[in-house]
Amino acid sequence: MSLWVDKYRPKSLDELHYHNELSDRLKSLAASGDFPHMLFYGPSGAGKKTRIACTLRQLFGPGVEKLKIDQRIFFSPSKRKLEINIVQSNFHIEITPSEAGIYDRVVIQELLKEIAQTQQVDLNARHRFKVVIINEADTLSRDAQAALRRTMEKYMSNMRIILCANSTSRLIAPIKSRCLLIRVAAPSTEEIHKVLEYVAKRVGVDLPPEAADTIAEDSCGNLRKALLVFEALKMQSPDLSGPLTIAKPDWETYCHKVADLIVSEQTPARVLEVRSKLYELLSHCIPPTVIIKTIAERVVERVDDSLRADIMHWAAVYEVRMRIGSKKIFHLEAWVVKVMSLYKQFFYQMDLSEFD
């Protein structure tokens, strides 16, 4: 039994519920013989992958839905074995090079070269090129991006690349300039409301408008979250009546607890306590950038107005350092200590001003 997010995922561009002008543009691009490399970007749950899948279907027909999953093995320059999952059909191939960590360049280089040098064998295929979808393109290392750029220049004739990313800021300019940029904005509350109503109708359940509003507002533009919450709530109370309480995910509650610890005491002992909690979050695979963002948002809610800008500024600084460096915990902890020192200084200055 599949989840509603998968079961009721639109399959063609005509079935997409929102951003209709974008769907029309993609349709005409697919119809024109000249299909470019593309970069789809937007927040998580905005519908990027769904839109890419629909575009592929428009390009090649229902054959793209016949998927097979393979595991490929690559070797790093130091002969380390890298196992990468690849989803493919006769017309496209989907990879997430970030699975290979710092060796993503090897995956990009070898795989793309191999695809680019093989001709489309299906004589009935509507297009001569194969599409390569690269997920999480914004987490690609500089080396991998440079390799990608060279491949894009060299093998345009029998390969098109579709990149999927949350933001374009971490992609190098030459890649951006070789792609058609497609921004998939988060759906509005009304649009999410409409999708929820549609799914409720397909499932055959009654969704009161107030419940749909609560779910849509809570999801903050993340349609996947809205549909998952809808399904979870439906399991808990089948009639969805009365005020709904949407439980926060455990990691979010845990991050809020860490923020409260930071605000309530600023001592070396507390830093140690926070460190163990940060390790706990990291070991449960919560991305460090999400940890710092969630804790920072909670901390600024609880401190004086004058401190907010500084706390966010330092969160941004340490986030950048975290991306550049390899030991995430160092930067997370450095930010925690910075916030504690800012907070202490603030109280110290308040005390001094009382003496004046």
Residue (114 or 217) nearer to ligand ADP, CB: 217
Of 245, 246, 244, which Cα lies nearest the Cα of 210?
Answer: 244
**Pairing of the two strands 92-95 and 38-41:** unpaired
- Report the distance separating Cα 10 and Cα 13, nearest Å: 8
Q: What are phi and psi of 64, to 5 degrees?
A: -70, -15
- Minimum distance, C-beta of residue 207 to ligand ADP, in the bound complex (Å): 15
- Minimum distance, C-beta of residue 105 to ligand ADP, in the bound complex (Å): 24
- Minimum distance, C-beta of residue 152 to ligand ADP, in the bound complex (Å): 22
Helix, strand or coil, per DSSP, at residue 88: strand
Residue (6 or 356) nearer to ligand ADP, CB: 6
- Minimum distance, C-beta of residue 212 to ligand ADP, in the bound complex (Å): 14
Measured torsion, CA atoms of residues 201, 26, 24, 21, in degrees rounded to the nearest 10? 80
- Minimum distance, C-beta of residue 34 to ligand ADP, in the bound complex (Å): 25
Residue (225 or 256) nearer to ligand ADP, CB: 225
- Report the distance separating Cα 186 and Cα 81, nearest Å: 38
- Minimum distance, C-beta of residue 123 to ligand ADP, in the bound complex (Å): 32
Residue (16 or 340) nearer to ligand ADP, CB: 16
Residue (43 or 63) nearer to ligand ADP, CB: 43
Residue (21 or 351) nearer to ligand ADP, CB: 21
Residue ranges binding ligand ADP (CB under 6 A): 5-6, 8-10, 16-18, 42, 44-50, 195, 223-224, 227
Q: Which residue is nearest to ligand ADP (CB)?
A: 47
Distances (CA, A) of 173 to 30, 143, 161, 264: 25, 14, 16, 44
- Minimum distance, C-beta of residue 234 to ligand ADP, in the bound complex (Å): 15
- Report the distance separating Cα 272 and Cα 269, nearest Å: 5
Q: E strands along 50-197, which residues?
A: 68-75, 81-88, 92-95, 130-134, 159-165, 180-183
**Cβ density class 5-17: b for 16+ within 10 Å, e for less:** beebbbeebeebb
Residue (225 or 328) nearer to ligand ADP, CB: 225
